[in-house]
Every structure is written in C-alpha cells, then in structure tokens.
Amino acid sequence: MQRLAVLIASLWWGGISGVSFVAVPTLFASLGSPAVAGPVAAKLFTLQSLAGLGLGLVLLLVLRRQRSEVPFAQVGEAVSPARLQANQRVLTTMGFVLAAMLLALLQEFGVAPKIVTARTIGGNLPLWHGLGTLMVLGQWLCSGAVVWRLSRSAEALNGAK
C-alpha cells in the first residue's frame, strides 16, 4: 500500500509540474497569441484539477487504510510514542492531500470562471490570474509535500525490515 500511495502522489505532483511549468508556458510561447493559447491552457488546467481531485480521493482512501493498520490502544493500555507518531504522520499527510484538493476545487469552480468572465466582459484579469497561479502553486507544494512525506515513510519502513 505504501508504494501505491507514493505512486499516486508522484503522478499528481508530476502532472501539476508538467502542465503548469512545461505545457502551458510552451502553449503561450508557441501559439503567440494569448487569445488562442488561453482557452487551451484553461482546458488543461481543468483536466489537471479534475485529475488532482480523483487522485487525491484515491490517495485519501489509501492513507485511510494505512491509518487503520496502526492498532488503536485498548482501554487502560499505554499508547506507545511510535503509535502516536505513526497516526500523526498519516493524519498530517491527509491534511496536505485535503488542502491540495480544496485548492483544486477553489481554482476550478471559483477562480477559473472569474478569469473567463474577466476576459470576455472585462474585469480584473491580473487579480484573478494571479490568484489562480497561487492556487496551482499551492497544489504543487501540497502534492510535493505528500510525495516527500510518503517517500520518507517508505524509507523508514524499508529500513525497519
């Protein structure tokens, strides 16, 4: 399960990296006109958001299963620091996944429509584009933190074997 979680998180982070830092800048550089490249970039960001939501959901399910594998303390039983640390590590990682998913939702259904509206009828396009960029950067950082945390957990597991 640990390897599956690392794979899913890596796909998520890599997808954001590829679309945001390679594909979209290449579109704008190659097509020349923002009026032509913009709608294509918007479609790529929509697909990225939807993929992130799907991968995040699967990752939450995998992490939930990992958390359930950490045995709970019985009544009157002392909780070992290792057990507490393992639970805390999984919960913190789940928090990063949820934060990235929330940013994807806000970007897709909150900011993206404002960018389209600002382009068509006027509005503060730099503001909305800047917010969208920050949300993509936030997703990239959160998914990167998930990859980092999961790969570190995998190293600890392999070292213990």
- pLDDT tens digits for range 43-87: 999 999 999 999 999 999 999 887 766 555 555 666 677 777 877
pLDDT of residue 75: 58
Of 122, 121, 114, 140, give the one whose Cα is nearest residue 42: 114
pLDDT surpasses 60 at 154: no
Is 93 a member of any domain?
yes
Confidence band, pLDDT 50/70/90 cuts, at residue 92: very high
Confidence band, pLDDT 50/70/90 cuts, at residue 156: low
What 8-state DSSP symbol labels residue 70?
S
Contacts for 111 with CB less than 8 Å, ≥ 6 apart: 128, 131, 132, 135
Give per-residue pLDDT as tens, 11-34.
999 999 999 999 999 999 999 888
Is 75 a member of any domain?
no
Is 76 a member of any domain?
no
* Residue reference for tokens 């299963």: 65
Is 156 a member of any domain?
yes
Is 31 a member of any domain?
yes
pTM: 0.85
Range of the domain at 38: 2-70+81-160
Confidence band, pLDDT 50/70/90 cuts, at residue 161: very low
Is 42 a member of any domain?
yes
Total domains in the chain come to 1
d(CA 65, CA 74): 20
Is 132 a member of any domain?
yes
d(CA 131, CA 115): 10
Give per-residue pLDDT as tens, 96-135.
999 999 999 999 999 999 998 988 888 888 999 999 999 9
Is 155 a member of any domain?
yes
pLDDT surpasses 60 at 95: yes
